[in-house]
Amino acid sequence: MPSMRYLTATHLQGFERYKYNSIDTSLLSVYVMHPFWNACVKYLPKWLAPNLLTFVGFLMTVVNFLLLAYYDWDFKAANDKSVGNTVPGWVWTVAAINILIYYNLDGMDGKQARRTGTSGPLGELFDHGLDSYSAALIPIYIFSLFGTEDLPPIRMYFVIWNVFLNFYFTHVEKYNTGVMFLPWGYDFTMWGVSLMLFVATIVGPEIYRSSFYGITVANVFEVGLIGSGILSSHPIIIRNIYLSYKNKTGKMRPMMEMLRPFFAFLWLFVITLVWSFFSRNNVINLEPRILWILYGTIFSNIACRLIVAQMSDTRCDSFNILMWPLVATVGVHLTAQGERWLVHGLTIFVTLAHWHYGYGVVSEMCDHFKIRCFKVRKYDSNFVEHTFQKNNKFLKSH
């Protein structure tokens, strides 16, 4: 158990009272994926811990990142049209399959939890916490299809922040309404990313460097990704929060408390924006891949702390401690090589700090609830199976 404790008694008491409440209205999810996952989960052994499914799925996104980092560290593999994309074709196939594994395990872990009688706040926190990390990893795969010619690092930056916003806004919604309204875009995005990677294998990744009247595939990708959030997600979230206040069904927080989750998020955006645009050595072009991991790791820590706050019904942070070294780094004037090494060092520090936070929170919750993260406790199989069937009937009827 780590010496530093991250959860207070108030957090743990809030977790004891917590009840998961979600609404999924996605046609693809409700009518296709949920029936598929319900059928698949029956073939899983009941000793298999749901959190293990979650973790294996997350590892698939890490494998993808490492594979593409090895073959295309600087996102320039697609730049030379005369040569073609230098990433081997089999990498795209593996990446596509891994995304589907991640997506399906992410959909099955909750069903396995209900099936084994291990549903609880730890599983949800573990699931959404790792999802916040994957939010940074998954867009990076796509960048290797376009290269820095069609999608320069500064535009990659805004694509990543759009993904961050889509993920974070959903949890801000739950922080204020108490309900997880599952976004439509998630299911279509996972299938879309997989399809793009499969097309790179079958047709060839060169198709993503084509253009029509000056409009590149990268332009279409950017507009489609950003537009989907603006049209299908953000207005609905704002409406749900508004209705929770109007009908008095939400947390009814004062205005500044309702907006409080955005403070840390906006601080990170402003700090990274300043560094990306005004770095003396143009750091965004020096080490874009490392920067995305640095930004994504701090974002994940901010998101995890928000998830802890909304699940335990406590006040969320307005600033994240991991941003202090980032602020100090932005203000330092170094040579190009010095700034490059500083980015690497800061990324290592932030990553270790975030891992320590995640390990600490999980360990503290396991100790409090007297459970094991990757082990199914003994249960009454008849009761659990009855509960699982009852939940399935409820989902079908809704």
Residue tagged 């991250």 (tokens): 6
| Distance in angstroms (rounded) separating the CA atoms of residues 61 and 49 | 20
What are the helix and strand counts (H, E) for the chain? 17, 4
Single pTM value for the model: 0.92
Angle in degrees, CA 42, 48, 54, rounded to 5: 95
Query: What is residue 387's predicted lDDT score, i.e. its pLDDT?
Result: 42
Task: Say how far apart CA 340 and CA 227 lie, in whole Å.
Answer: 34
pLDDT at residue number 182: 86
CA distances from 283 to 222, 286, 290, 291 (A): 22, 5, 10, 8
304-112-358 Cα angle (round to 5): 20
Return the pLDDT at 334.
83
Q: At what angle do helices 153-177 and 234-246 cross, to 10 degrees?
A: 20
**Alpha carbon of 312 to those of 178, 257, 365: distances in Å?**
11, 15, 12
Give residue 35's identity as a one-letter amino acid code.
P
The 3-state secondary structure of 234-251 reads HHHHHHHHHHHHHCCCCC
Q: How far is CA 30 from CA 11, 23, 119, 151, in A?
A: 33, 10, 20, 35
Distances (CA, A) of 4 to 125, 148, 189, 313, 326: 19, 42, 38, 22, 22
Q: Which two tokens stand for residue 157?
A: 């930056």
Q: How far apart are CA 50 and CA 108, in angstroms?
A: 8
Domain boundaries, the chain: 9-386
pLDDT at 221: 92
Three-state secondary-structure class, residue 212: strand
- Alpha helical stretches, state H, the chain: 9-17, 27-28, 34-41, 50-71, 89-116, 121-150, 153-177, 184-202, 217-232, 234-246, 255-259, 261-278, 283-286, 288-312, 323-330, 336-369, 381-397
Instruction: Say how far apart CA 116 and CA 47 lie, in whole Å.
Output: 8
pLDDT tens for the chain, 398 residues: list them: 446 899 999 999 999 999 999 898 888 999 999 999 999 999 999 999 999 999 999 999 999 999 999 999 999 999 999 999 999 999 999 999 999 999 999 999 999 999 999 999 999 999 999 999 999 899 999 999 999 999 999 999 999 999 999 999 999 999 999 999 888 888 988 999 999 999 999 999 999 999 998 899 999 999 988 888 787 789 999 999 999 999 999 999 999 999 999 999 999 999 999 998 888 889 999 999 999 999 999 999 999 999 999 999 999 999 999 999 999 888 787 888 889 999 999 999 999 999 999 999 999 999 999 999 999 976 544 434 444 454 454 444 44
Q: What is the pLDDT of residue 265?
A: 97
The answer to whether the beta carbons of residues 21 and 178 sit under 8 Å apart is: yes
Residues 398 and 393: their CA atoms lie apart, in Å, by 9
What pLDDT score does 169 carry?
95
